């Protein structure tokens, strides 16, 4: 093989769009999402900036503390990117992990012209560093709003094994727009936490269908809690990221007022619905019971008919 | 947690121009390997931090076998281990070397 | 200090803060002139979508109709934990409260959190932790992660956790740890009228830049966060 042929083959391989987002590591998602070879990492694993709080619990560290942050390009345009590794400590926010994202968002705020992609994959606060994790999330929330106020689009991509829970769910709710796959889940309290606190009658955490109806990507899309639903492939997430970067609205008092109306209306319309299926029926979804099994492309067409995406109310 | 370190002589330098590679994730049954091209051509070093204590002999054997098979001269491997089985360790080390063999783009 | 005692000490000349199903909404006069908007949660109530939507509404309508500070007074439980709350997208309601408070803070209505009781997790993030300055009253007990839950997950006893907590402020509950890590800026003195302490704070407000990580470093509660954030920010600025 010639050198040029090898190079082209590598680029094609690096851009294999059918790779499962869910199965991919954070690093693989970053590498395949961005334009080939464009990624420059900030404080990479060779810097060994590990958590100082895990040794005391006899827990292993990860060199990047479970988050990859840096800069690259998407279809030729610069982006900042942060990807959480959902398999390390459940993707949870610790002191160093959170600070990497805070710094990235503050840079975006200062530069104003480069958007931020956040690849969420998190159970929330890392309990061994609970106070530091919670504070990191509070600082990230602030930094997201400051960046958006400076005109920066912050796009969240959700489809990993840890979902987007706890404080991660709040950060997601502060983003300009969200893309979610069927595997993705967004919530504040996790299924086990609800069951532990309120009992199995309130929420059976082992009822996977219930978990996905209540917190999963399809419900979030139909409810308006996410803006785009995608199939579980890197290519689909890439296409959605590009589309959301193009279409996400500005942030200001009008956005907040529109969101207030949107959220008030949701309580009025669906506040007494006992289950997601009741919400979907109320929204006019034909054959609501078939939603969970519906293939991605059919679901996307259906969702586009049922609930138009609002670009100015998040 | 246990810290282990194994240094070996290697027959030859690990090919490639890449200076750093990372593979794997720290999770139950898994590990991450950070490879760095920082040593003289005939030396290699494997440093391990592991959550599973008391397996020094197993690591010794796995590392020795890996060095013998791949001869990763010049490379330092730093491992954070979440309790992986020996075959997973061997796999990750081999993956790390293959990544280092790529040309730096 | 009860809620009524605290409000009376903050506003000795009276106030119109009402407690409506544990959601506090109202205002009170400031010694320096003008009025402070007051919102909050009382009675250690859980914060769900139904509470959050009222808080955000009040803050939003105040942004263009007034110029005094906004006091966020908190004695809450965690976020309301139920199927219904997650079904309705609680994360958006809580995020919306935080967004409104932060927006207000950035646009002429500085926000001051006053933690006088409990708060935890998502409720804490949406209210007290979404303010520019967070004040603690003695006796406040903020909890991010409670030790019994932590003991269950880590399989370590509470005694062992308490022992570990002696050498680090990063995981155990309490006002002192939240102050040391930079979340709580100051703890007020219950023996001094709160109106005086509020006036002093208003006269010496920090600017609208988030310095909690720097505070955590100064107080040796979070030694890495400020530096890591600043390093990433610097690298990102250089990489253009």
pLDDT tens, position by position, A97-112: 999 999 999 999 999 9
SS3 C28: strand
DSSP assignment of chain A equals: --HHHHHHHHHHHHT-TTSBTTTS-HHHHHHHHSSTT--EEES-GGG----TTSGGGT----TTTTEEEEEEEETTEEEEEEEE-TTSGGG-B-HHHHHHHHHHHHHHHHH-SS-EEEEE-B-SB-GGGHHHHHHHHHHHHHHHHHHHHTT--EEEEE-STT-B-THHHHHHHHSSEEEEETT-BB-SS-HHHHHHHH-TTT--TT-HHHHHHHHBHHHHHHHTSSSEEE-SBHHHHHHHHHHHHHH----SHHHHHHHHHHHHHHHHHHTT-SSHHHHHHHTT-TTGGGGGGS-HHHHHHHHHHHSPPPSS--
> Quick check: A15 pLDDT over 70?
no
For residue C23, the distance in angstroms to the closest alpha carbon of chain A comes to: 16
Q: Where does B2-101 sit in CATH, by number?
A: 3.30.230
- At residue A14, the pLDDT reads 46
Q: Between A10 and C110, where is the model more confident? A: C110
In angstroms, rounded to a whole number, what is the distance separating the alpha carbons of residues A116 and A178?
A: 12
Is there a contact between C216 and A135 if contact means CB atoms under 8 Å apart?
yes
Output DSSP code: residue C35.
E
- Burial (CB < 10 A; 0-12, 13-18, 19+), residue B90, is middle
pLDDT-flagged residues of chain B (< 70): 104-105
- At residue A165, the pLDDT reads 98
pLDDT band at C112 (very low <50, low <70, confident <90, very high): very high
> Quick check: A311 pLDDT over 80?
no
Q: Does A295 touch chain C (CB under 8 A)?
A: no
Q: Which residue out of B19, B26, B32 would a mutagenesis test of the A interface target, given it has the greatest number of A Cβ atoms within 10 Å?
A: B26
Is position C94 within any domain?
A: yes
> Quick check: A244 pLDDT over 70?
yes
In angstroms, rounded to a whole number, what is the distance separating the alpha carbons of residues A65 and C43?
A: 38
CA A298 to chain centre: 22
Asked whether C74 and C116 are in contact (CB, 8 A), the reply is yes
**Residue among A94, A118, A116 at smallest CA distance from A106:** A116
In angstroms, rounded to a whole number, what is the distance separating the alpha carbons of residues C67 and B18?
A: 58
- At residue A190, the pLDDT reads 96
In angstroms, rounded to a whole number, what is the distance separating the alpha carbons of residues C118 and A186?
A: 26
> Quick check: C168 pLDDT over 90?
yes
> Quick check: A308 pLDDT over 90?
no
> Quick check: A149 pLDDT over 80?
yes
pLDDT tens, position by position, A245-266: 999 999 999 999 999 999 999 9
Is position C93 within any domain?
A: yes
Containing B24, the helix (H) or strand (E) segment is: strand B20-24
> Quick check: A205 pLDDT over 50?
yes
> Quick check: C138 pLDDT over 60?
yes
In angstroms, rounded to a whole number, what is the distance separating the alpha carbons of residues C172 and C178?
A: 9
Is position C168 within any domain?
A: no
SS3 B87: helix
Q: Please provide the average confidence, as pLDDT, over all residues in chain A.
A: 94
For A54, the closest chain B residue by CA position comes to B1
- At residue A309, the pLDDT reads 72
Q: What CATH number is attached to the domain comprising C96?
A: 3.90.226.10
Is there a contact between C225 and A98 if contact means CB atoms under 8 Å apart?
yes
Rg of chain C's alpha carbons, rounded to an integer? 18
Is position C170 within any domain?
A: no
- Sign of the CA dihedral with C124 first, then C209, A140, and C167 last: negative
- At residue B103, the pLDDT reads 74
Q: Would you list the domain boundaries of chain A?
A: 18-306
- At residue A70, the pLDDT reads 98
Q: Which residue out of B2, B17, B21, B22 would a mutagenesis test of the A interface target, given it has the greatest number of A Cβ atoms within 10 Å?
A: B22
Least confident range of A14-18, A72-76, A199-203: A14-18
For A61, the closest chain B residue by CA position comes to B80
- At residue C128, the pLDDT reads 97
The distance in angstroms from the start CA to the end CA of chain C is 53
In angstroms, rounded to a whole number, what is the distance separating the alpha carbons of residues A69 and A34?
A: 13
Interface of A with C in 211-270 (CB under 8 A): 214-215, 219-220, 223-225, 253, 256-257, 259-260, 263-264, 266-267, 270
Chains that touch C (3 or more CB pairs under 8 A): A
**Residue among C101, C144, C100, C150 at smallest CA distance from C124:** C144
In angstroms, rounded to a whole number, what is the distance separating the alpha carbons of residues C131 and B98?
A: 50
pLDDT tens, position by position, C7-30: 999 999 999 999 999 999 999 999
| Long-range contacts of C22-28, Cβ-Cβ distance < 8 Å, separation of 24 or more | C22/C51, C23/C51, C23/C54, C23/C55, C24/C73, C25/C54, C25/C55, C25/C58, C27/C68
SS3 C67: coil
Average pLDDT of span A205-233: 97
pLDDT band at A13 (very low <50, low <70, confident <90, very high): very low
- At residue B84, the pLDDT reads 97
For residue C125, the distance in angstroms to the closest alpha carbon of chain A comes to: 6
Q: Please provide the average confidence, as pLDDT, over all residues in chain C.
A: 96
Q: Could you tell me the CA-to-CA distances from B10 to A97, A109, B60, B92, B96 in Å, in that order?
A: 36, 49, 15, 19, 16
Is there a contact between B25 and A61 if contact means CB atoms under 8 Å apart?
no
Q: Would you list the domain boundaries of chain B?
A: 2-101
Asked whether A64 and A101 are in contact (CB, 8 A), the reply is no
**Residue among A74, A110, A241 at smallest CA distance from C236:** A110
CA angle A291–A223–A160, rounded 5-degree value: 75
Q: Could you tell me the CA-to-CA distances from C120 to A79, C77, C117, C173 in Å, in that order?
A: 34, 6, 10, 9
Judging contacts by C-beta atoms under 8 Å, the chain A residues touching residue C103 are 145, 149, 253, 256
For residue A56, the distance in angstroms to the closest alpha carbon of chain B comes to: 10
Percent of chain C with pLDDT over 70: 100
For residue B88, the distance in angstroms to the closest alpha carbon of chain A comes to: 16
Percent of chain A with pLDDT over 90: 92
Is there a contact between C144 and A134 if contact means CB atoms under 8 Å apart?
yes
Domain containing C48 equals 3-138+188-209
Domain total in chain C: 1
- At residue A240, the pLDDT reads 98
> Quick check: A47 pLDDT over 90?
yes
- At residue A195, the pLDDT reads 95
Is there a contact between B1 and A62 if contact means CB atoms under 8 Å apart?
no
Percent of chain A with pLDDT over 70: 94
In angstroms, rounded to a whole number, what is the distance separating the alpha carbons of residues C15 and C59?
A: 17
**Residue among A243, A234, A250, A245 at smallest CA distance from A83:** A234
Give residues with Cβ within 8 angstroms of B55, minimum separation 6: B2
- The superfamily CATH assigns to domain A18-306 is 2-enoyl-CoA Hydratase; Chain A, domain 1 (3.90.226.10)
């Amino acid at each position: 093989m010639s050198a040029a042929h090898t190079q082209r083959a590598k680029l094609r391989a690096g851009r294999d769009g059918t790779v499962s987002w869910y199965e991919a590591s954070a690093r693989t998602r970053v590498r395949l999402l961005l334009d080939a070879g464009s990624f420059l990492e900030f404080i990479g694993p060779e810097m060994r900036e590990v958590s100082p709080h895990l040794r005391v619990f006899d827990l292993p560290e990860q060199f990047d503390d479970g988050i990859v942050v840096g800069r690259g390009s998407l279809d030729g345009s610069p982006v900042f990117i942060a990807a959480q590794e959902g398999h390390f400590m459940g993707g949870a926010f610790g002191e160093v992990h959170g600070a990497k994202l805070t710094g990235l968002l503050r840079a975006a705020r200062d530069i104003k012209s480069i958007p931020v992609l956040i690849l969420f994959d998190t159970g929330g606060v890392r309990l061994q560093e609970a106070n530091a994790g919670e504070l990191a999330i509070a600082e990230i929330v602030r930094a997201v709003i400051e960046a958006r106020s400076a005109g920066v689009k912050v796009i969240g991509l959700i489809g990993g094994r840890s979902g987007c829970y706890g404080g991660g769910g709040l950060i997601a709710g502060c983003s300009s727009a969200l893309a979610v796959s069927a595997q993705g889940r967004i919530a504040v309290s996790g299924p086990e936490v609800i069951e532990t606190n309120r009992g199995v009658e309130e929420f059976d955490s082992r009822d996977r269908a219930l978990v996905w109806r209540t917190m999963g990507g399809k419900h979030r899309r139909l409810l308006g809690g996410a803006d785009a639903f995608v199939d579980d492939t890197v290519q689909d997430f890439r296409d959605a990221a590009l589309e959301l970067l193009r279409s996400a609205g500005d942030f200001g008092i009008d956005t907040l007022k529109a969101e207030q109306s949107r959220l008030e209306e949701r309580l009025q319309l669906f506040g007494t619905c006992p289950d997601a299926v009741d919400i979907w029926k109320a929204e006019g979804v034909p054959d609501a019971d078939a939603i969970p099994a519906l293939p991605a492309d059919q679901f996307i067409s259906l969702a586009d008919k049922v609930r138009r995406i609002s670009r100015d109310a998040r | 947690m246990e810290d282990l370190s194994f240094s070996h002589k290697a027959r030859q330098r690990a090919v490639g121009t890449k200076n750093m590679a990372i593979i794997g994730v720290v999770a139950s049954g898994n590990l991450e390997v950070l490879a760095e091209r920082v040593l003289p051509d005939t030396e290699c070093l494997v440093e391990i931090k592991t959550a599973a204590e008391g397996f020094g002999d197993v690591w010794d054997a796995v590392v020795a076998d890996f060095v013998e098979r791949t001869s990763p001269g010049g490379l330092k491997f730093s491992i954070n281990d979440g309790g992986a089985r020996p075959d997973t360790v061997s796999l990750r080390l081999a993956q790390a070397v293959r990544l280092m063999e790529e040309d730096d783009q | 200090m009860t809620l009524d005692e605290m409000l009376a000490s903050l506003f000795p000349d009276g106030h119109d803060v009402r407690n409506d199903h544990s959601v506090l909404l109202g205002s009170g006069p400031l010694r320096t002139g003008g009025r402070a908007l007051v919102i909050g949660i009382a009675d250690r109530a859980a914060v769900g979508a139904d509470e959050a939507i009222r808080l955000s509404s009040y803050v939003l309508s105040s942004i263009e109709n007034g110029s005094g500070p906004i006091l966020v007074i908190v004695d809450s439980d965690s976020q309301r934990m139920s199927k219904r709350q997650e079904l309705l997208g609680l994360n958006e309601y809580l995020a919306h409260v935080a967004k409104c408070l932060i927006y207000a803070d950035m646009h002429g209505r500085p926000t001051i959190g006053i933690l006088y009781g409990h708060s935890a997790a998502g409720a804490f993030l949406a209210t007290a932790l979404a303010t520019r300055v967070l004040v603690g009253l003695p006796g406040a007990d903020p909890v991010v992660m409670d030790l019994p839950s932590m003991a269950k997950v880590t399989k370590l006893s509470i005694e062992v956790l308490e022992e570990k907590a002696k050498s680090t402020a990063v995981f155990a509950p309490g006002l002192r740890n939240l102050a040391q890590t930079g979340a709580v800026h100051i703890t007020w003195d219950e023996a001094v009228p709160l109106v005086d302490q509020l006036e002093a704070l208003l006269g010496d407000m920090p600017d609208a830049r988030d310095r909690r990580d720097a505070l955590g470093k100064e107080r040796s509660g979070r030694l890495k966060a400020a530096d890591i954030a600043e390093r990433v920010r610097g690298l990102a600025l250089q990489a253009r």
